[in-house]
Chains A and B, each alone.
Chain A
Amino acid sequence: MKSKAKVVIVGGGVVGVSALYHLAKKGWSDVVLVERKELTSGSTWHAAGLLPLFNMSYSVGQLHKYAVDLYKTLEEETGKNVGFSVVSNIRLASTKDRMDEYHQYAGVAQTIGVDVKFLTPDQVKEIWPLCNTSDLVGAIQHPEDGYIQPADLTQALATGARNRGAEIYRNTNVVGIKQIKNGWVVETDKGSIECEHVMSCSGNFARQTGKMVGLEIPVIPVEHQYIVTEPHPEIQKRKKEGLPEMGVLRDSDSRWYMREEAGGLILGPYEDGAPCCYVDGPSKDSEYELFQEDLDRLAPHIEGAIHRVPAFGEVGVKKVYNGAICYTPDGNPIVGPAWGLKNFWINEGHSFGITAAGGAGWQLAEWIVDGEPTIDMLGVEPRRYGDYCSKSYLKEKNEEAYRNVFIIHYPDEEREAARPLRTAPCYDRMKKLGAVFGQKFGWERPNFFCYRWHGTKRRLVF
């Protein structure tokens, strides 16, 4: 193991390995990654591998777009197949409001150069004959996205990084991080490494890594499940006839994703009541971990899925995966410099980490090597958080972020959970005057006044 390096990355999930790859690609070959167990043994190995381009945030949208483009080139570069199936992704709309949201999104997509098509219910039926389209208003399609094999992707990125001189130390645990003049010392159970920069990519361990340097990194994972069925004769028949995969289907109003898997189907719902997990961090031996499934919680979404795709209910359930998926209070990852600490970089809180890993690594490499990112990173900026994110606040907020994945995102959306957290002395007076509050950095601030509602029970939160 080296005793000196320019950058030490903590954590060998897809996110950390992608950051290593991009630093090496940018010409910094003296970079190392430290992983406590095996690469991908955290959340990466069991991910469903979807690469959704859809995102309302300009920052996240660009990270995703970059990643989808990059992943297509990795096999040629590294000789490793990453199992990228470009099968397209269709998002359904059952209401006019939902369709309006898609139209608003189309503006974001156009700005950042993502290809989006609008489909009629009949066009959906053509591509997805097993989908019941009778009650749909319409849909959008991303022809360029699909799904990938997360572990193969991570290994390909690792190969790309190693080929450029980067080193990866597996079965090595980071136990302490100390600031010194001009940099850091990363202490592991196999020795110390002195470096200029440290990047935290520790997934479900984010808060534990943060504590080593006195940071409250606001990440607590939530349980997420997906169901895998046995093969369905109809899908097997399509395969035999040489027809293309129907692609990824998202029913936003019933809150789930679905895709083909080995002749069967995968269903992943975003339900109410999914609890936070690893609240005090995973156990020190944790690797390749899954939790007990809970289908009861998913019942309304399963019914919705069977209504939409009756075939899904016609075959047996082969396996249910329930694993930890990282969340932050607003649902976006935390990518950039830590607040108050020089040359400490945060790359945590990824809930679509397979998709975001490419872009996050790319921008952090730009930021570290050239001093600034090349796209607007405001939406994922670490400094939107701080010490106000207590554990109890996080638990409520992160569960809210999870159940809100598929809500209609109206402009200037404000969310209700765990509020008020911090109030100014004038808060009560403002409220009496009809203030409708929003939250910034934990503080309640009047967004506007709505005196017509003053005195009534009705709550207005925008």
Chain B
Amino acid sequence: MKILVAVKRVIDYNVQIRVKEDGSGVVTDNVKMSTNPPDDNAVEEAVKIKESGKAKEIIAVTVGEEKAQETVRKALAVGADRGILVKAPCTIEPLAVAKILQKIVEKEKPDLVFMGKQAIDDDCNQTGQMLAAILNWPQATFASKIDVKENVLEVTREVDEGLETIEVKIPSIVTCDLRLNEPRYASLPNIMKAKKKPLEQIDASELGIDIKPRIEQIKVEEPPKRKAGIKVSSVEELVQKLKNEAKVI
């Protein structure tokens, strides 16, 4: 079995996001970037399946700028076998990413595509679903547990009401939740070795698809600043304020 894992480079979750002065987006220059956290879970799950002997090859793919290959290298360092960087401008919408991934799927013919449930930068939660639709494959979203069986996957999904267990036929698309597993850290020798693993570069413009944005972004604004707190002098005052002013108890 062959598993394709899609990984995205996003602003690190610890960074305090700053909006550009002209409201055209957020500041990314000189800002620490890293792999979208649920994508780490997707990679980890693929590696675990390979370690259990149920998969032969893991391919990590990213769509983005030249620098996005750092994200692929990170996947290679924890166990992916080879990588693909599809070079494209950094603002690329889920539909375009899904179309690009469709081309990669057609070329690589994986049995499974693992992705993050959503990216923490634009919070779209669309790419996996769109890819499933374009490929006409079954999808299992928000996976918190995956069991590989004969020709099917048993996937536990995190839904509002609790946990839902479904079965999907292989090939299929799985989008991963943060509670799926505990991603491992790469050791330094493995990080160094990952530099020698193959990483193919493809230009998105060579794929013959339309990746033009469909959404027009009007303005990016910072959320209102949190007001300074006050000090209360006693527990009674706190309780009184929570009751009468905040009306939460």
- A residues sitting closer than 8 Å to B (CB atoms) are 227, 229-230, 277, 283, 285, 287-288, 290-293, 295-296, 299, 302-303, 306, 312-318, 322
Contact indicator A314/B14 (Cβ below 8 Å): no
Judged by a CB distance under 8 angstroms, whether B184 is at the interface is yes
B186: chain A residues at CB < 8 Å are: 316-317
CA distance A292 to B14 in the complex (A): 12
In the assembly, what is the distance between CA of A291 and CA of B28, in Å? 11
- Residues of chain B from 46 to 60 with CB closer than 8 A to chain A in the complex: none
Alpha-carbon distance between A230 and B182 when the two chains are bound, in angstroms: 13
Whether A315 and B185, one on each chain, are in contact in the complex, defined by CB atoms closer than 8 angstroms, is yes
Known: A291-B30, A292-B33. A285 touches B18 (CB 8 A): yes
- CA–CA, A287 and B185, complex, Å: 27
> Pick the contact of B32 from A295, A316, A317, A322 — CB < 8 Å?
A322
Evaluate contact between B31 and A295: CB separation under 8 angstroms. Answer: no
Question: A304 CB to closest chain B CB, in angstroms?
Answer: 11
* B187 contacts partner chain A, Cβ-Cβ < 8 Å: yes
* In contact, A290 and B14 (Cβ under 8 angstroms): yes
Report the separation of the CA atoms of residues A291 and B29 in the bound assembly, to the nearest whole angstrom.
10
Question: Are A302 and B188 touching (Cβ within 8 A)?
Answer: yes
**Closest chain A CB from B23 CB (angstroms):** 14
Task: Count residues on chain B whose CB falls below 8 Å from chain A CBs.
Answer: 19
The verdict on B192 contacting chain A, using a C-beta distance below 8 Å, is yes
Residues of B within 8 A of A316 (CB): 184-187
CA separation between A250 and B32, bound complex, in Å? 28
**CB atoms of A277 and B30 under 8 A apart:** yes
A315: B residues at CB distance < 8 A = 185, 187
Given A277-B30, A283-B27, A290-B15, A295 and B191 contact (CB-CB distance below 8 Å) = yes
Task: Provide the bound-state CA to CA distance between A295 and B189, in Å.
Answer: 12
B185, closest chain A residue (CB): A316
B244 at the interface (CB under 8 A from A): no
The answer on a CB contact under 8 Å between B191 and A317 is yes
Kindly supply a per-residue 1/0 record for chain B positions 185-209, scoring 1 wherever the CB is within 8 Å of any chain A CB and 0 otherwise.
Answer: 1111101100100000000000000
User: What is the minimal beta-carbon distance from B236 to any residue of chain A, in angstroms?
Assistant: 27
Q: B192–A299 contact, CB under 8 A?
A: yes
- How far does the Cβ of B66 sit from chain A's closest Cβ, in whole Å? 13
- A316–B44 Cα gap in the complex (Å)? 14
Other than A291-B30, A316-B187, A317-B187, give 20 A-B pairs with Cβ distance below 8 A. Answer: A230-B185, A283-B27, A287-B16, A288-B16, A290-B12, A292-B31, A295-B188, A295-B191, A296-B195, A306-B189, A313-B187, A314-B187, A315-B185, A315-B187, A316-B184, A316-B186, A317-B186, A317-B188, A317-B191, A322-B32
- Nearest-neighbour CB distance to chain B for A303, whole angstroms, equals 8
In the bound complex, do residue A291 and residue B32 qualify as a contact, i.e. CB atoms below 8 Å apart? yes
Residues of A within 8 A of B33 (CB): 292
Question: Given the complex, which residues of A lie within 8 Å of B187, measured CB to CB?
Answer: 313-317
Q: What A residues does B30 contact at CB under 8 A?
A: 277, 291-292
Q: How far is the CA of A315 from the CA of B191 in the complex (A)?
A: 11
A313 touches B188 (CB 8 A): yes
Least CB distance from B31 to A in Å reads 7
A419 to B191, alpha carbons, bound, how many Å?
Answer: 38
What is the bound-complex CA distance between A390 and B18, given in angstroms? 31
Q: When the two chains form the complex, which single residue of A288, A306, A322 contacts B188, counting CB atoms closer than 8 Å?
A: A306
